[in-house]
Structure formats: structure tokens, C-alpha cells
């Protein structure tokens, strides 16, 4: 089944009238890029997080929600191998929400931002007038290109490139989705060590996000089931491999690079990197199973719509 | 009664750890300013608009909502006398919302942006999982300083300055709040013609927003009831003056300038400007009534919380 969100995103991208000279990267990547005067440019990402969809206020603390909201945007900065600059936040409050909870949210936002020198510089507070609408928080973040590193897009994977991921995958909903580390430093280290052809963060599951990278790069892919790094939480599920392939919110990096460059990044200190497959001709995802047989892999990740 | 939103905003501003050297304007103004390399800087504003609070989807079209969402942010650009650059949009969709409505929203957003050369360059689509949460749209906009004009803040009004407004005030909820013209061109024209000490857009009612400007500038104010420009919709209400003083969503400019400069802006072609009072010593708002008597004026505008 086609991903509804992707169909809409592609439609919006086709409608775009933003001139490429001023906006080199637009709809469909992890961040959009805005060229300013001189050589300066800034990147921007906006993310809406909803109670019941991205977190559950009946179990998660407001501080934790603030941390997650900020970290999701920081992960977008990482996905482009850019340096976070600052964030603005808007909230929609249920009736009678109270300022104490908002201050705890603020604490989480600031704490997460501070780790990456990314202060909160503005915001907007609004409240629902009906009785049943739930809490929403929207973070918009700016980043800037690292010196000498062009922002890494999703559309540059080439046939023969290796498919790589950081960390381990799957089972994020058990714990990690509220407490992950955005891979900002890892992305900059990797992009400094080797030429990265394409990169994104894994938010909706490896299969869905790899499919996006393939479509945008006009290539296919073969994953190898034996190489996919399973998280300890994925291993506790009934289907660890399916969990690693399809669960959302890993917030790890997925990237493409030439096979000869793998040695440059394989042993970077403190960064776990796995080669999980190879980009191919064609337009389909395939996976080599534990049994060695190659099968078609349908993207099975999270569809927001 | 103190404005809860203001109390919270002041609290957030006090917590801010954003260094002034990189972020000259932070929480509490219409936009925050981010200094980049060289002389470049960019300003940012984020606004959450909610069904039931800022519009009513049972009567407003999605296109109209898109126009309003974009125009609210454009009005923030105007409030600082800056030039809009681009916008990103995030939406929270009720269950079963459908893509056709989203495309109509998009049409409105793009249409409003196009008038000010401000394209939509990115976004995020999310959906509620519960049955009752309503539609929300968040617009984040970037702007840049106009050549030779520093972004105009709220905190520069001086004792003796004139209090000026564009257009007419009051009764916006009848029609104008969905169809106003953001005063982007007017703001730039005014700030080019004369030195503007402080400026903001009137979103929560003249009395409330003037009170904010006074507090931030550490001055008081006396309005003159006879000088306040009543909109035709305000005139149709039972209390036209109260409507002009306290109704929200005028989206006109409120600004302060030296009295000797008023002649520079009074007759700018196509821009209606009214002097509605004077900034004074002290910290209170007063109003000279139709009867000539001066009374204390309590801010009576819209409080979001």
C-alpha cells in the first residue's frame, strides 16, 4: 500500500514555486535550505508532536516530552549533517492545562537543546477552546552547514553504494523513542571522514525510510537480514527482524556511501556503524533472508496518515 | 487581571540562555533574531492556529484558514519592519481528514505567501489518533532585515513619543480576521520614512498590545478616545470604542515615534495612519474620553490562557 504521507509530500513538492537559486533544498528532505546574502545559508525543519500519536501524557512526563520534541528536530539537523543553531516552539494547550506543566515542558526543551548548543529563542502559546482536543507541541529548528560540508540530501544514493546505519534498530516504542540521542555529532564525524552520498534519519522504520531514499535517488536496494543491527528491545519482541525493519522512531542515521569509503568510517571511535545492504538498479526493495534467499521487501513502517 | 500569557512569556524570557551576541532579539518580541556569519541575520516567528480558537472550520473554508495562517506570520514580519523570506508549515489532522482539504489549505497558504514573495519550502503532516482532537496548523516564517533598517522592537518607545496605528480598529471577528492584509509594505514604508522607536502588530486588542509595548519600554501611555480610528464593523457594535480598544485580531501596526517625525509619515500615499495618543511617564494606560476626562484604562484584550 503506498504511503499516504509520501504521496501528499510529493504532491506538495511538485506544487512548490520556491526558486532553487534561493532555496536549494525544499520539500521532501529532512530540512529545507535558505540561501541568504553572501555565502551564508540556513536550514529549517518543523515538527508537530501530538499527545496520543508521538507520546502519551498519561505515562510520559512533560519534561520527557520536551526532550523528545527537541531531539526529533535535532535528529533532522543530524540527518543533513548540519550544525543546530536555535529553536522556536509553539504549543496548543488543552483546557485547564496549567503553567506548571508548561514549565516542565520548557525544562525538557532547554535541557535537550543545551547538549547541542541550540537555545530556545522564541515561541507561541495557544489554548484549545473545546474540552476534548489534546496537547500538541511544534518545534521549528534552524541549523547551518558545517564548514566544508554541504548539507547531505536524501537523493544522492548511487547504484553500488553501501547502505549504512548507525546504532541498533527496532523496538524504540518500548523506551528509546523518549530518550534517544540525536546523532548530530555522529553525522558530522561521518560526513567529515568520508563523502556521504545521501543521508536521512530513520523515523518511520528502516524499510519505509530506505524506500524513500531509493525513490528520491532513483535506485533500488538489497538489504541483508544478517547484517541488520537488532536493538535489545527488538530482540525481546516476537519478530526481532520485522521490528528492526518496520518499527518507527529509531532516530538513527541511514546513509549511502561508495564501498571504497567504508573503511574510512567503519572504526570511528564511539560510533557504531553497520553496513546493512547495497543500492542496486531498479526501484524495489529486496532483502536477503537468513536462509540466503532474496525476496521483495514491502515498506512496512509508520504512515502518519 | 494580569494577562496569563504575558506572565508566562516573561518567565520564559527570564530563563533564556541564548547569548545576545548571536541572538540579539529573543523571547517577547514579534520575532527573534539570529545572527549568522558576516553581517547576515535572519528573523523567525512561529504561530499555532487552532480550530475553534483562531478560526472555525464549521464556517471558514480551508483555503481561508491557509490564508489566515500565512498572514498572521506575515504580520509578524511587518511588526518588525522586516522582509518575509519563506515559511514552513506543520499540521495536526483530525481522524479521516482527507487530502482534499489539505490541498485547499495549501492553496491558501501559497496564495497568501505569493503576495509577499514568501514561498512555502517545507512542512510536516501528522494526525491525531483520538477521535475528538481538532485541526491545528503551525506556520513558522523567516524574514530578513531591510537594507539600512534595523528590525524594530517593542521596547523602544520613549516618553513623549506619539502612539500611532495603521488602518482602523475593532470588530475584526465579524470579517476581517480571515481576510486582513498584513502590513508588510506599510511597515517598510513607514520605517523608511521616519525613525520608528517601537513597533508591533495588534493581535490581542489595542489596550493589551499597547500595555505590552509600555511594559517593555518602561513607559506609560494616554490614549485619546476621539482619535482612535473605528472600523465600520466596530461602529456596528453596541460599544464601538470598547470594540476598537479590546477586540483581538486587528493585525494593524502599533508604533511609536518622536512627535517631530509625525509629518514624515502622516501623508504617505495609500497608508492610513492615526495618532491615537502619547507615551508618558509612569506605567499605566490612561484614556482621555469623549468628555475630555482622563481615566485609567485596563487592558481588556484577548488572553490566550
The span from the CA of B244 to the CA of B293, in Å, is 19
- Tell me the pLDDT band of B173, cut-offs 50, 70 and 90: confident
Asked if B44 lies within 8 A of A140 by C-beta distance, the reply is yes
Q: What is the pLDDT of residues A162-191, one digit of tens each?
A: 999 999 999 998 888 898 999 999 999 999
- Tell me the pLDDT band of B60, cut-offs 50, 70 and 90: very high
Residue B48 has its nearest CB partner, among A34, A120, A124, at: A124
- Give A122→chain B minimum CA distance, Å: 5
Residue A52 has its nearest CB partner, among B90, B120, B130, at: B130
Q: What is the pLDDT of residue B222?
A: 98
- Tell me the pLDDT band of A301, cut-offs 50, 70 and 90: low
- Give A75→chain B minimum CA distance, Å: 15
Residue B119 has its nearest CB partner, among A23, A40, A45, at: A23
- Predicted TM-score (pTM) of this structure: 0.95
Asked if B86 lies within 8 A of A18 by C-beta distance, the reply is yes
Give strand pairing partners of A138. A48, A90
- Tell me the pLDDT band of B302, cut-offs 50, 70 and 90: low
Residues 6+ apart with CB under 8 A from B162: B256, B257, B258, B259, B262, B275, B277, B278, B279
Q: What is the pLDDT of residues A77-120, one digit of tens each?
A: 999 999 999 999 999 999 989 899 999 999 999 999 999 999 99
Report, as an integer, the average pLDDT of B123-139.
95
Asked if A127 lies within 8 A of B92 by C-beta distance, the reply is no
B contact test, residue of A10, A42, A122 with most B CBs within 10 A: A122
Q: What is the pLDDT of residue B304?
A: 57
Asked if A90 lies within 8 A of B138 by C-beta distance, the reply is yes
Residue A167 to residues A201, A222, B66: CA-CA distances in angstroms? 12, 20, 40
Report, as an integer, the average pLDDT of B178-190.
96
Residues of chain B contacting A124 with CB distance shorter than 8 Å: 46-48
Q: What is the pLDDT of residues B87-101, one digit of tens each?
A: 999 999 999 898 999
Report, as an integer, the average pLDDT of B192-217.
97
Residue A38 has its nearest CB partner, among B4, B40, B42, at: B40
The span from the CA of B221 to the CA of B224, in Å, is 10
| Chain A residue at shortest CA distance from B86 | A34
- Taking only Cα atoms into account, the Rg of chain B, rounded to an integer number of angstroms, comes to 19
On whether the CB atoms of residues A126 and B304 are closer than 8 A, the answer is yes
Closest by CA to A31, choosing from A86, A71, A81, A91, is A81
Asked if A110 lies within 8 A of B15 by C-beta distance, the reply is yes
In total, the C-beta contacts within 8 angstroms joining chain A to chain B are 231
Strands (E), chain A: 32-35, 41-50, 82-93, 120-127, 136-145, 162-166, 198-201, 220-224, 253-257, 273-280, 285-288, 294-296
The span from the CA of A35 to the CA of A16, in Å, is 16
More confident of the two residues B171 and A143: A143
| Chain B residue at shortest CA distance from A118 | B18
Domains parsed from chain B with CATH numbers = 13-145 (3.30.1330.10), 162-296 (3.90.650.10)
- Give A121→chain B minimum CA distance, Å: 5
Q: What is the ipTM of this complex?
A: 0.94
pLDDT above 80: residue A267: yes
Residue B140 has its nearest CB partner, among A16, A85, A88, at: A88
- Tell me the pLDDT band of A305, cut-offs 50, 70 and 90: low
Give strand pairing partners of A43. A33, A143
- Tell me the pLDDT band of A29, cut-offs 50, 70 and 90: very high
pLDDT above 90: residue B285: yes
Asked if A53 lies within 8 A of B134 by C-beta distance, the reply is no
Q: What is the pLDDT of residue A24?
A: 96
- Give A267→chain B minimum CA distance, Å: 34
Amino acid at each position: 500500500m503506498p504511503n499516504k504521507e509520501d504521496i501528499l509530500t510529493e504532491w506538495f513538492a511538485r506544487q512548490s514555486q520556491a526558486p532553487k537559486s534561493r532555496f536549494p533544498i525544499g520539500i521532501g528532505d529532512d530540512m529545507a535550505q535558505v540561501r541568504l546574502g553572501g555565502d551564508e545559508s540556513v536550514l529549517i525543519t518543523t515538527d508537530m508532536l501530538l499527545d496520543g500519536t508521538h507520546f502519551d501524557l498519561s505515562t510520559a512526563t512533560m519534561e520527557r516530552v520536551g526532550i523528545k520534541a527537541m531531539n526529533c528536530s535535532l535528529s533532522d539537523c543530524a540527518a543533513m549533517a548540519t550544525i543546530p543553531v536555535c529553536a522556536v516552539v509553539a504549543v496548543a494547550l488543552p483546557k485547564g492545562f496549567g503553567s506548571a506543566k508548561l514549565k516542565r515542558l520548557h525544562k525538557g526543551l532547554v535541557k535537550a537543546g543545551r547538549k547541542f548548543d541550540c537555545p530556545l529563542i522564541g515561541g507561541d502559546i495557544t489554548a484549545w477552546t473545546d474540552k476534548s482536543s489534546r496537547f500538541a507541541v511544534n518545534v521549528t529548528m534552524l541549523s547551518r552547514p558545517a564548514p566544508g560540508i554541504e548539507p547531505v540530501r536524501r537523493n544522492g544514493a548511487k547504484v553500488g553504494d553501501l547502505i549504512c546505519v548507525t546504532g541498533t534498530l527496532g523496538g524504540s516504542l518500548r523506551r528509546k523513542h523518549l530518550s534517544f540521542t540525536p546523532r548530530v555529532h555522529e553525522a558530522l564525524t561521518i560526513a567529515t571522514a568520508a563523502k556521504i552520498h545521501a543521508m536521512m534519519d530513520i523515523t518511520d522504520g528502516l524499510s519505509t525510510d530506505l524506500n524513500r531514499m531509493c525513490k528520491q535517488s532513483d535506485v533500488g536496494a538489497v538489504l541483508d537480514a544478517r547484517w541488520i543491527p537488532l536493538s535489545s528491545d527488538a530482540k525481546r519482541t516476537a519478530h526481532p527482524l520485522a521490528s528492526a525493519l518496520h518499527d518507527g522512531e529509531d532516530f538513527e542515521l541511514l546513509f549511502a556511501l561508495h564501498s571504497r569509503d567504508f573503511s574510512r568510517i567503519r572504526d570511528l571511535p564511539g560510533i557504531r556503524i553497520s553496513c546493512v545492504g547495497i543500492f542496486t538498479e531498479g526501484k524495489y526493495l529486496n532483502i536477503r533472508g537468513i536462509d540466503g534467499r532474496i525476496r521483495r521487501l514491502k515498506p512496512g513502517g509508520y504512515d502518519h496518515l
